[in-house]
A and B are shown apart, each in its own frame.
Chain A
Amino acid sequence: MLKLTNISRSFAQRGVVLDNLNLEAGMGDSIAITGPSGSGKTTLMNIIGALDRPDSGDILFRDASILSYSSDELAKYRNRNIGFVFQDHLLLNHLTIKENIMLPVFAEKISEKEYADKEEYTVLLMERIGITGLKDKFPFQVSGGEAQRATLVRALIAKPAIILADEPTGSLDSKNADLLGRLLIEMNRDFGITLIVATHSHDLASMMGLHLSLDDGKLKG
């Protein structure tokens, strides 16, 4: 489903970060990418999520190269296929938790019926993740763990093919980190979503089906 071929990316200040990197992920895979700080984990996640472009190489999603996409097509690609979970929950303080979760829904014009379906799905997901009571609260009114779970729901709202989680537990205590890790695996399993997690956490990495290490710009098994 996802194939990265000979991806290279370098930055003026940091030099070569990704060097002819190759990665293949099938539907329902769960992959942990570990590596030291500055090894290029976030860069790799951003490239997969079409938030950044490689200097060379190709990215095929369902056999189509996303590098040929226009800006709008890339936005659509992200909206429909990618769910992001970041280290910082990145919820918008002026929106309620439910509205934050539904943020990707507003990126495209939808009918009232579709909106109602999405709203229903949101409630369902929130129940599933255990944050139903937060729907009308604002981010500044909830805890970090709750906020991060809301982020996970937001990543799932568009029923994406891939969830990219960049240090999702980095800001959480061990209890919440464990809970989030388990939820991620549940979603991967129950919805068949491909899960790619960049993390320093061995506990989280150990929950994934495949553990790769990013070193010298290359992924090693």
Chain B
Amino acid sequence: MTKNYLLRNTLRSLFYYRKDYFNQVIIIALLAAIITGSLFTGDSVRDSLRKSSSEKLGNTGILVSTGLRFFDSSVSDRLTSEYQLNTTPLLETDGYCQNFTTGATSLNISIYGITGNFFSFHGVKDVEIPRGTVAVNLKMADHLGVKEGDEIIIRFRDADPIPANAPFAPSKQGDGSRVMKISKIFGTEEAGNFSLGISQIVPQNLFINLQDLQQEKVPTFRVNRLLVAGTEGLSESYINDIIKETLIPSDIGLSIRKSAVTGEHEMISDRVFIDSAIVRCILDNIPEGYPVITYLANSIRSGNIETPYSFVSGLPASEELNITDDEIIISRWLAEDLGTNSGNEITLSWYHPVGNLLEEREKTFIIRYISDNEILLSDPALMPEFPGISGSTSCSSWDAGIPILMDKIRDKDEDYWDIYKGTPKAFVSYSVGKKLWGNNFGPATAIRFHGGTDRESILKGLRGNLDPADAGFTVKNILISGEEAATRGVDFSTLFLSLGFFIILSCIILLSFSVSIFFESKKEQVRTYFALGFRNVKIARLLFIETAIISIAGAFAGAFLGYGVNMLIIHALNSVWSGAVQTDTIAAGFNIIPVITGFVSTLLISLILVIIKLRSYLKRLEGHKDRAYKFHSSRINIILLTVASAFAVVVTSLSLIMQNPSIALSFSGGTLLFITLVLFLRQYYIRRGSGFSEGINGLYGLSRRFYSFYPSQSVTPVIFIAAGIFAIIITSSNRQGLTDRMLLNTGGTGGYLFWSESAIPVKENLNSKQGKDEFGLNDTDLSGLEFLQCLRLAGDDASCLNLNHIKAPPVLGLDPSSLISRGSFSFVSTIDADDNKNPWSLLNENINDNIIYGIADQTVIKWGLKISVGDTLIFRSENGKPLKIVVCAGLESSVFQGHLIVSEKNFRNYFPSVPGSSVFLIDGDQDNADQLKDLLSSRFSNYGLSVEKAAGKLASFFVVTNTYLNVFTILGILGLILGVAGLGFMLIRNYDQRKKEFALMMATGYSSSQLKRYILVDQVIILVWGIITGTVSALVATLPSLQSSGDISLNLLIIMIVSIFSVGILILFISVSRVGKTNLLLQLRKD
């Protein structure tokens, strides 16, 4: 019975007060919509990233990669036939392309050499790319403005197994360039956007028949990627194991040949040098093997007599070669040529690659004995298959990749070449050879096998024993990596909840007003309950149930409305706010979790607010405490006002006078001014309260007298409006823009003029005379041109432009010495406690084997990689070993954002196959920047060089932050407008409480228009004062920003002020219009 009564009572009350409740439902729904919308947005972005990742990968589950090395595509066939895996091989290479007709160029592209089953692997049937043609994806077609049948010029790096910077790599190493017809343009469904990288940005893809990327006519191809479909039942270790099982020497460029002289079999590499890990593996599994290293000496000298360009071998100790480290055996031919003999000294000189330079070194040996054609020592096969040398008909036609002084080559040298080819003329111990000529590419040029070891036994010995990691293979579950990167990427839920802070705050304030107004309207009902003996708990329960039902209704409606908010946000992210996401492919998705979370959290906020309000309301009514009338002392206010204004003037003046005002000083000045202006308004009102002798003259004096008793009713809205404007302007002032400081050496550009990237790596040292000669940069006008060349290991962009969580950013290898001497860039954190030490110098410090130092932008460290300075990132070096890079310092915002920087020395050590520099910081004459840019683009046109101002590059990173700030500002303004609507509510509340006053005034002869003016005048003062307080104090607080970058958007400021003022005035007029509509006469009767 009681329950029925309660229910009936509640329902009737709900119906009776439906108009009052409607406000609450709307506000709660709005609150829920914002919260749910933000949560939805986070989910939508995450889902879109996952979807994008999944779409790009197609059916790829596991990626097998050898980085810059190659393996034989037959591995794919064997994995398919022996292990029933669905695989496809792939060659991913650098390059760029150009519309043949218009010249439009795509520099940042992905070129995929594919086999016939690439598209069927991805579930696209009956598609193939005929030889001599290419296919591009829609994005590239749009960018180049091409259609099927059009021709494009593509330039790419050939799949040459010899690293371009390996010793004796031919200088004319092939970088292919050809004109090809576009046979297909692929969309997303046809795997057109295929990508192995982690990024939300749609790539520009070019697909080419694998055969067109390789010159040799062979049945199988060199590739560097292998895609394995799906991940079900497949683990990385399983794939690694079966690759190990199936891997044969030829897969990784190792071949076996038999020496015609010794009859021995030997294993050689198409990379010339054999990696130390592979050497160790072969020797471990085939004990009959021994390593050999053969190198080209520039000269062998005895006194003044010199023999040019001779091969020298390092052989392990044996009966024939029982020599010490200082001894050498020479051939009879050499002894005679030099006119020397056993026991004499000879000096060898040779080129040793140091970075991308060649350093001539020499060593003197004592001749142990002279070889008379012992079998081993007269074997021309000891010379490795140097591509530029082996097939040459004469010495003068060598392309040895080193400077060959042709005038030194004598007829007898040519005769020797004709007869003996590359037969070494001298022999040292292997340990010496390895020490002198071993390099990052390996310690041996061949593994020879003693007598009885035939091809079959070599292959048998290695079957199942070649560790894929030793050959640079890495296996990664890329599907899971992509999902993880998307899941752990930028959290747009939290971001939009933060950005929508003002709207949420305004909703809560509005809700608070609304609940207060509602409770006030039920005052009589509650007093009746009190009079009838209802206990507080019971009254509270009755009111709570009503408001809870309203809260549930509002939160429920809002939670679903949140989807609409989400759609709006997603639409904005794909268009006007695309700077934040760098794509237009984010899709709004529906998920019940945000609905539930938004509903529950809104309900909680609303109910907590109701409970707080209810408690104070009942307490007040029970104690019969209506509004208290009390005088406010102006003395304390005057003291506070004087102190605040004095400090405000001093601090603001200081910040104006100082040449480099600190942000903290200006902010303090602004805050003090804020306090001063608020106290001033308070003084304005309470002064009227105590100044009775002046009397009240006129209507407005009457109005002010009211606020003298209730200064909080004027000060609270002023604080609300002013604080909102203050916060928005302060936040907006953090918009990043280029400042003069950024252009200095210590700034984010490092003082460099250009940031440049090349599609094809540049091998030459561009600061050297030869390098400048090569590219025509030796004019005196260009003498100031200075290059900082960076080697680049591809990775996923870790800058703020990538929404995914990145674990392996691109690694740049550079020589930090020039940065140290220029004092380029600034650091915000370092692991080194020594402040005087330049953190760049840490890069060259050796920590341990396979552990090196790295530097990155602090923003990348914190937000992109989500680590701290001192943490370690693990990469896989080229020889398959884990390489730990300890982040030793964080750069202040710089052009390097998105990259991890290591020293060039370490880079070459761990990634020797990277052929040259792909990233450049270029300094030159600022006044001729445009001409310089054109000149560089033209000189490096074959390399697909993009040149942009370093300042522009730096500014491009600001777009994300600035977009976030725009979003915050716009949502903040909306929130403020909503808050100003709260002023209207406050006014209505005020108005309801003062109805009797207004009624009396009407009775004594005031017209309704006079009453409206009476109410409005102070509300307008409050609104305007709030705007002035917030704007002026914020402008003072942001003086440094205004003076340096001046990047506060004046338009946005004006829009904000105008919209807040307009909405405020509108709301005030709407509220005040109630004066004429309400029957005030009822108020003239006694309560």
Q: Which residues of A contact B (CB under 8 A)?
A: 42, 46, 49, 51-52, 71-72, 74-76, 78-80, 82, 84, 86-88, 90, 92-96, 99, 102-104, 106-109, 115, 119, 136, 138, 140, 154, 158, 166-167, 170-171
Contact B1007 A103 (CB under 8 A): no
Interface-located stretch among B84-92, B498-506, B701-709: B701-709
- On chain B, the number of residues with a Cβ less than 8 Å from chain A's Cβ atoms is 32
Contact A84 B1004 (CB under 8 A): yes
User: Which listed residue, A52, A93, A107, touches B1081 by the CB 8 Å rule?
Assistant: A52
Minimum CB–CB distance from A53 to chain B (whole Å) comes to 11
With A52-B1081, A88-B1087, A90-B1084 as given contacts, are A103 and B708 in contact (CB-CB < 8 Å)?
no
Alpha-carbon separation in the docked complex, A167 to B1086 (Å): 10
User: 1/0 contact trace for B1049-1084 toward A, CB 8 Å?
Assistant: 000000000000000000000000000000001001
Minimum CB–CB distance from B215 to chain A (whole Å) comes to 97
Chain B residues with Cβ below 8 Å from A107 are 1001, 1004-1007, 1010
Q: Which 7 residue pairs are nearest across A and B when measured between Cβ atoms?
A: A79-B1005, A75-B1007, A104-B1004, A88-B1086, A107-B1005, A78-B1005, A90-B1000
**Most chain B C-beta atoms within 10 Å of own C-beta, residue among A92, A93, A119:** A92
Q: Nearest CB to that of A115 among chain B residues? A: B697
Interface hits, B468-484 → A, CB 8 Å? none
Chain A residues with Cβ below 8 Å from B697 are 106, 115
User: Which listed residue, B629, B696, B1004, touches A93 by the CB 8 Å rule?
Assistant: B629
Minimum CB–CB distance from B699 to chain A (whole Å) comes to 6
Contact B1086 A84 (CB under 8 A): no
Contact B1004 A51 (CB under 8 A): no
Q: Nearest CB to that of B697 among chain A residues? A: A115
Chain A residues with Cβ below 8 Å from B1081 are 46, 51-52
Chain A residues with Cβ below 8 Å from B709 are 93-94
Chain B residues with Cβ below 8 Å from A170 are 1086
Chain A residues with Cβ below 8 Å from B1003 are 49, 51, 78, 84, 86
Q: Nearest CB to that of A78 among chain B residues? A: B1005
Minimum CB–CB distance from A17 to chain B (whole Å) comes to 13
Minimum CB–CB distance from A67 to chain B (whole Å) comes to 17
Minimum CB–CB distance from A131 to chain B (whole Å) comes to 17
Contact B997 A92 (CB under 8 A): yes
Q: Nearest CB to that of B703 among chain A residues? A: A94
Alpha-carbon separation in the docked complex, A88 to B1086 (Å): 5
Minimum CB–CB distance from B705 to chain A (whole Å) comes to 5
Q: A51-B1002, A71-B1007, A106-B699 are in contact. List 16 more A-B contacts (CB 8 A).
A: A51-B1003, A51-B1084, A71-B1009, A72-B1009, A75-B1006, A75-B1008, A84-B1004, A87-B1086, A90-B996, A106-B697, A106-B702, A107-B1005, A107-B1006, A140-B629, A154-B1004, A171-B1086
Q: Nearest CB to that of B698 among chain A residues? A: A106
Interface hits, B995-1041 → A, CB 8 Å? 996-997, 999-1010
Q: Is B769 part of the contact surface with A, judged by Cβ < 8 Å?
A: no
Interface hits, B684-716 → A, CB 8 Å? 692, 695-699, 701-702, 705-706, 708-709
With A106-B696, A136-B692 as given contacts, are A80 and B1005 in contact (CB-CB < 8 Å)?
yes
Alpha-carbon separation in the docked complex, A76 to B1081 (Å): 18
Q: Is B172 part of the contact surface with A, judged by Cβ < 8 Å?
A: no
Minimum CB–CB distance from B251 to chain A (whole Å) comes to 95
Alpha-carbon separation in the docked complex, A79 to B1010 (Å): 13
Contact B629 A103 (CB under 8 A): no
Contact A79 B705 (CB under 8 A): no
**Most chain A C-beta atoms within 10 Å of own C-beta, residue among B695, B1004, B1081, B1087:** B1004
Chain A residues with Cβ below 8 Å from B1085 are 42, 87-88
Minimum CB–CB distance from B711 to chain A (whole Å) comes to 12
Minimum CB–CB distance from B744 to chain A (whole Å) comes to 62
Q: Nearest CB to that of B994 among chain A residues? A: A92
Minimum CB–CB distance from A82 to chain B (whole Å) comes to 8
**Most chain B C-beta atoms within 10 Å of own C-beta, residue among A95, A119, A166:** A95
Contact B1086 A75 (CB under 8 A): no
How many A-B contacts if CB must be within 8 Å? 94
**Most chain A C-beta atoms within 10 Å of own C-beta, residue among B697, B701, B709, B1084:** B1084
Contact A86 B1084 (CB under 8 A): yes
Contact A95 B705 (CB under 8 A): yes
Minimum CB–CB distance from B625 to chain A (whole Å) comes to 13
Alpha-carbon separation in the docked complex, A108 to B702 (Å): 13
Alpha-carbon separation in the docked complex, A42 to B1003 (Å): 13
Alpha-carbon separation in the docked complex, A179 to B1085 (Å): 22
Minimum CB–CB distance from A102 to chain B (whole Å) comes to 8
User: Which listed residue, B696, B996, B1005, touches A99 by the CB 8 Å rule?
Assistant: B696
Q: Nearest CB to that of A166 among chain B residues? A: B1084
Minimum CB–CB distance from B1087 to chain A (whole Å) comes to 7
Minimum CB–CB distance from B140 to chain A (whole Å) comes to 73
**Most chain A C-beta atoms within 10 Å of own C-beta, residue among B692, B1003, B1010:** B1003
User: Which listed residue, A82, A94, A115, touches B706 by the CB 8 Å rule?
Assistant: A94
Alpha-carbon separation in the docked complex, A170 to B1087 (Å): 12
Chain B residues with Cβ below 8 Å from A42 are 1085
Chain B residues with Cβ below 8 Å from A84 are 1003-1004
Minimum CB–CB distance from A37 to chain B (whole Å) comes to 11
Contact A95 B1004 (CB under 8 A): no
Q: Nearest CB to that of A70 among chain B residues? A: B1007
Minimum CB–CB distance from A28 to chain B (whole Å) comes to 22
Alpha-carbon separation in the docked complex, A140 to B626 (Å): 13
Contact A75 B696 (CB under 8 A): no
Alpha-carbon separation in the docked complex, A107 to B1005 (Å): 6
Contact A78 B696 (CB under 8 A): no
6 pairs from A and B in contact (CB 8 Å cutoff): A71-B1009, A88-B1084, A99-B696, A103-B1000, A106-B701, A167-B1086
Contact A79 B1004 (CB under 8 A): yes
Alpha-carbon separation in the docked complex, A160 to B629 (Å): 32
Contact B1086 A78 (CB under 8 A): no
Alpha-carbon separation in the docked complex, A164 to B741 (Å): 79
Q: Nearest CB to that of B708 among chain A residues? A: A94
Chain A residues with Cβ below 8 Å from B701 are 106
Contact B1001 A103 (CB under 8 A): yes
Chain A residues with Cβ below 8 Å from B1001 are 103, 107
With A88-B1086, A140-B629, A170-B1086 as given contacts, are A96 and B692 in contact (CB-CB < 8 Å)?
yes
Chain A residues with Cβ below 8 Å from B1005 are 75-76, 78-80, 82, 104, 107-108, 158
Alpha-carbon separation in the docked complex, A52 to B999 (Å): 12
Q: Nearest CB to that of A75 among chain B residues? A: B1007
Chain A residues with Cβ below 8 Å from B699 are 106
Contact A71 B1008 (CB under 8 A): yes
Alpha-carbon separation in the docked complex, A167 to B696 (Å): 30
Alpha-carbon separation in the docked complex, A176 to B251 (Å): 117
Minimum CB–CB distance from A48 to chain B (whole Å) comes to 12
Chain B residues with Cβ below 8 Å from A167 are 1086
Chain B residues with Cβ below 8 Å from A106 are 696-699, 701-702
Alpha-carbon separation in the docked complex, A119 to B694 (Å): 12
Alpha-carbon separation in the docked complex, A88 to B999 (Å): 13
Chain B residues with Cβ below 8 Å from A140 are 629
Alpha-carbon separation in the docked complex, A82 to B1005 (Å): 9
Minimum CB–CB distance from A107 to chain B (whole Å) comes to 4
Contact A92 B1007 (CB under 8 A): no
Alpha-carbon separation in the docked complex, A108 to B1004 (Å): 11
Minimum CB–CB distance from A126 to chain B (whole Å) comes to 15
Alpha-carbon separation in the docked complex, A92 to B994 (Å): 10
Chain B residues with Cβ below 8 Å from A52 are 1081
Minimum CB–CB distance from A11 to chain B (whole Å) comes to 11
